[in-house]
Amino acid sequence: MTDGFSQRTPQQALAALLERFTPQRLLLVGTRFPALEAFAQAHPQVIIETCEPGPLPAELAAQRFDLAVLVDCLEHLPKRTGLQLLGGIRNLNANRVAVLADLPACGWQDTDFFSLALQASEKFRRDEQVLSLFTYDLHDYKQVPDWLNAKFWANPEMFGKYWW
């Protein structure tokens, strides 16, 4: 991400994210937003679970989702609770996570999201308010190192044959 602001609105960015991943099971923590309503109407088979900001209820904490979206959530939680919520969702509940947050309002820094392996995707400005979109994707959060191949093994002919 660059330090500049996106030409899109937050709703357009979230709509593009929903269309890109087309989740079958979605967890929303926070408030519903227009892009989600449009997505739900276009994809009626999608299961959308919603909860208020705070620790996940037991029935949701025991489930796995294709995408978790946190909108207007971290601004209403103490930082420690927010970190636990976001880390728990990332580790246990979702393959992909998107967080739309007003950093000054929630008291977070970019580095707080980076420490949880989220990437800064876009920034949006509306009057004096600045919103940031952070994303996490389990499938591409870490690149495969270039040394992880047969060339660097002591016995390259054995690469991939035995697991201990």
154 is a domain residue: yes
Q: Look at residues 130, 126, 146, 64 and name the one whose alpha carbon lies nearest to residue 97.
A: 64
Q: What is the pTM of this model?
A: 0.84
In a domain, 135, yes or no: yes
The two three-digit tokens of residue 83, written as one number:
């970190």
Q: Is residue 163 part of a domain?
A: no
Q: Within 13 A of 77's CA, how many CA atoms are on the CB side?
A: 22
Q: Considering the domain boundaries, does residue 58 fall inside one? A: yes
Domain CATH for 143 = 3.40.50.150
Per the listing, tokens 């489930």 go with 63
SS (H, E, C) the chain: CCCCCCCCCHHHHHHHHHHHHCCCEEEEEECCCHHHHHHHHHCCCCEEEEECCCCCCHHHHCCCEEEEEEECCHHHCCHHHHHHHHHHHHHHHEEEEEEEECHHHHCCCHHHHHCCCCEEEEEEEECCEEEEEEEEECCCCCCCCCCCCHHHCCCHHHCCCCCC
In a domain? residue 90: yes
Q: Is residue 29 assigned to a domain?
A: yes
Domain containing residue 67 = 10-158
> Quick check: is 1 in a domain?
no
Residue 164 lies in a domain: no
Mean pLDDT, each 10-residue run in order, the chain (164 residues): 79 95 96 94 96 95 96 95 96 96 94 95 91 93 73 69 68
CB atoms within 10 A of CB 78: 11
Q: What is the amino acid identity at position 111?
A: T
pLDDT at 152: 66
Number of structural domains the chain divides into: 1
